[in-house]
Structure 1
Amino acid sequence: MSDGNYSVTDDLSDTHPDDMPEQQVLPLDAWHRARGGRMVEFAGYQMPIQYTGEGGGIVAEHEWTRNHAGLFDVSHMGQLLVSGEGADAALEALLPIDLSTLKLGMQRYSLLLDENGGVLDDLMVSRWPRDVFLVVNGATKWDDIAHLREHLPDDVTLNHLQDRALLALQGPEAFAVLDRHATGEYPLSALTFMKFGLFTVAGVEMAVSRSGYTGEDGFEISLPAEDAEKIATLLCGEPEVKPIGLGARDSLRLEAGLPLYGHDLDTGTNPVSAGLMFALNKSRREAGGWMGHEAIAPVLASGPATKRVGLIVEGRLPAREGAPVFAGESQIGHVTSGGFSPTLGYPIAMAYIDAGHAADGTRVQIEVRSKRLDARVAPMPFVPHRYYRGEPR
């Protein structure tokens, strides 16, 4: 990174997504396998869906993270730096974000949209001393890079930090664990939700943000890939921490009501229907000037035809992605994410349904295996978020 704390080695000006290898290897691939990681293909990588042995399995890993701390390897995600004269204005032409209010050390959720207002990706945006740092989804990062390179002006530089790993330490005991090891210009406790800083752990310099994808308090840690095994081993050597796979990450984010790109978000959805109005900064909703605004403005004015809602399903049978949702004999939508909630003890789902049926408490039915399951619209998150916003411990 250009502030001297990172080494940027890969300028993608001559790189095309078609040139990327079909299968890439996580920096911690061997580490996961040595710990019994059951590896599956995801976003072009082999990634652990769960771990075998005592304490392993999706439900056990889910519950461990809710009660203690889990370490997730999310190094498949893209870490990008945007810099140069006019970088803020160039990004604001593509993202509905007000970068003038994003101060040093702050992080914000945003959306990359196409000209029709469809969601190309959801991402995190952070303010660095002379750069803007983006974390994009692993499944879309090459398309995101191509889109950004096409639309950013020539005097704005986009760098892909391929020599970086990304770890997420999540759960109510995550702070206590990281605080034992992290040193910096200020204490780790100074970080509140969606803030970040530079810290050193076991001699490794890293960027730490207080954020995550589980609904729990926790941290996302960007560090050199060559040091990932050292830090992962150190953290998992603490009694509160276990490695956690993709399966529990998905069930945790579903309970937290967080959308997953490619399932709950895609180019066929828009931010208003998705319930992501907070990602459209208020001043920019009105002023426009960002890709997709002309298509979204009428939806902002009149309201969406469909809405993303939470559903609580009666019985024990979960509703999965694609299951149709009915009001009487009329299909009013479809499920985009669903599963059994380990925390609540019953099935939950997210769905897009007609706005006229989206009020909390509305009774609907979901068709699963040619059987209609009774369900009702419920507010999200299903399990309350426990982000640390500065309240007394």
Structure 2
Amino acid sequence: MTDTGELFQLPLKDLHEAAGARFGGFAGWSMPITYSLGVLKEHLHTREKAGLFDISHMKLFLVTGSQAAAALARACPLDPEALTESQSKYTFFLNDEAGILDDLIVTRLGAERFMVVANAGNAVADEKHLKQVAASFDCTIEPLERVFLALQGPAAEGALSRAGLDLSALTFMHGLEPREGWFASRSGYTGEDGFEIALPWAEAKAFAEALLADENVEWIGLAARDSLRLEAGLCLHGQDITPETTPVDAGLMWAIAKPLRENGSFIGADALRAAITAGPRRKRVGLKPEGRQPVRAGADLFDADGNPAGSVTSGGFGPSAGFPVAMGYVPATLGAPGSRLFAEVRGNRVPIDVHPLPFTQHRYRKG
């Protein structure tokens, strides 16, 4: 958001308007929420063909220099030196209490060159945090001004190739710089195979139009992006994970290598080790409401005896799953799949069962 309180505008705003986008505020930006297809069809189109998302509100930081890896190892529970060139890794910025300040993807582009992709809502704080950490190291942090597009779905690879960018050699969680000023990775936040491409503003409109000329590609808005990531069991920072959430409680310890858990010197390392020793106080779980009525974020949860039992952090209808889906936190003792709870919805207690995550199978291209 600008100093005057106005929302930031996407560089490709004219294309979105021409496609019939309905805009809304998100993380300080005016973002397309839906297009003429509508949320349900946009969601299903992504699962069946290829959805194009404008994610230019997210922030990219290029980290370079002889101590770039060391700086990132201090900032994140990550061993950047262990990454092979082009390998990407999901990681975090943690605070001193091991709370998640943001979740990120770090890609190694060269011996002394890394790309960090951060969430829009935390972009300003992330830049300040990363620069503060980097001040003790011989490295440079460069925030990039790029159009950032995500192409997701089973037809994504072919559509991208027909638009002149062949990334078929990439596998899931790998990235590279295919052209000067460009960054591309095989990743995304829908559970589908797909790509994220950052490119200079001057080249973005023609590239987006080339993608949209493909009969398999449609613009997809934030509403469908949210239902897609929720079905895939993926966390949204600010809702499912926050600075008050540790990776232990969030069930995200898979992202931190065992040697780092034991001996890492990243920010929050001691607090994380203490949290591991203590065990999870609560557990992030999938939740399936009984019936067809979605249970939304913020709904309180109760056990069979009416005792408080956590809350819902994300919720809606899962078009591909075919039923309402939700995610939230419950006491660890109630986190087993099949546990029956009750959600408070408009004064009524709706039965809701703990359900395995994800709700729909991931279809990443891993090899």
Alignment TM class, shorter chain as reference: over 0.9
Distance 2:318 2:194 in 1: 21
Which of 127, 134, 139 is equivalent to 2:121? Answer: 139
Aligned to 1:165: 147
Which of 175, 178, 184 is equivalent to 1:199? Answer: 178
TM-score scaled to structure 1, two decimals?
A: 0.89
SS class of match (1:128) = strand
For 1:199-238, what per-residue CA distance to the aligned partner results, in whole angstroms no more than 9, with x for missing partners?
35xxx86322110000000110111122111111110110
CA positional deviation for 1:18 = 8.8
CA positional deviation for 1:132 = 1.2
1:341 aligns with 2:323: no
Partners of 1:123 and 1:135 within 8 A in 2: yes
Structure 1's 296 and 342: CA in aligned 2 closer, same or farther, altered over 3 A? same
Question: Matches of residues 36-51 of structure 1 in structure 2 within 5 Å?
Answer: 36-51=20-35
For 1:349-386, what per-residue CA distance to the aligned partner results, in whole angstroms no more than 9, with x for missing partners?
00111000001111111111111111111110100000
What residue ranges of structure 2 are gaps of 5+ in the alignment? none
Which of 85, 101, 105 is equivalent to 1:124? Answer: 105
Superposed CA RMSD in Å reads 1.7
For 1:24-55, what per-residue CA distance to the aligned partner results, in whole angstroms no more than 9, with x for missing partners?
22111111111111011111111100012xxx
SS class of match (1:221) = strand
Question: Matches of residues 186-225 of structure 1 in structure 2 within 5 Å?
Answer: 188-199=167-178, 206-225=182-201
Structure 1's 274 and 267: CA in aligned 2 closer, same or farther, altered over 3 A? same
SS class of match (2:177) = strand
Which of 352, 355, 359 is equivalent to 1:378? Answer: 355
Distance 1:42 1:116 in 2: 28
Distance 1:314 1:72 in 2: 32
Question: Matches of residues 11-160 of structure 1 in structure 2 within 5 Å?
Answer: 22-52=6-36, 56-129=37-110, 130-153=112-135, 155-160=138-143
CA positional deviation for 1:20 = 9.2
Which of 279, 284, 288 is equivalent to 1:308? Answer: 284
CA positional deviation for 1:182 = 3.5
Distance 1:327 1:40 in 2: 36
For 1:117-161, what per-residue CA distance to the aligned partner results, in whole angstroms no more than 9, with x for missing partners?
111000110011231110000111001111112222253211100
Structure 1 residue ranges, 4+ long, deviating more than 4 angstroms after superposition: 17-22
SS class of match (1:93) = helix
Which of 261, 267, 272 is equivalent to 1:296? Answer: 272
Aligned to 1:362: 339
For 1:37-94, what per-residue CA distance to the aligned partner results, in whole angstroms no more than 9, with x for missing partners?
1011111111100012xxx110010011010001000001001011223121121112
Distance 1:21 1:190 in 2: 43
Identity of counterpart residues, as a percentage? 46
TM-score scaled to structure 2, two decimals?
A: 0.95
Distance 2:4 2:118 in 1: 17
Distance 1:226 1:325 in 2: 49
What residue ranges of structure 1 are gaps of 5+ in the alignment? 1-16
Q: Which amino acid aligns with 1:95?
A: C
Structure 1's 207 and 182: CA in aligned 2 closer, same or farther, altered over 3 A? farther
Distance 2:4 2:153 in 1: 34
CA positional deviation for 1:296 = 1.5
Partners of 1:27 and 1:226 within 8 A in 2: no
Aligned to 1:7: none
Aligned to 2:163: 181
CA positional deviation for 1:179 = 2.0
CA positional deviation for 1:280 = 1.4
Partners of 1:319 and 1:366 within 8 A in 2: yes
Aligned to 2:307: 330
Structure 1's 389 and 63: CA in aligned 2 closer, same or farther, altered over 3 A? same
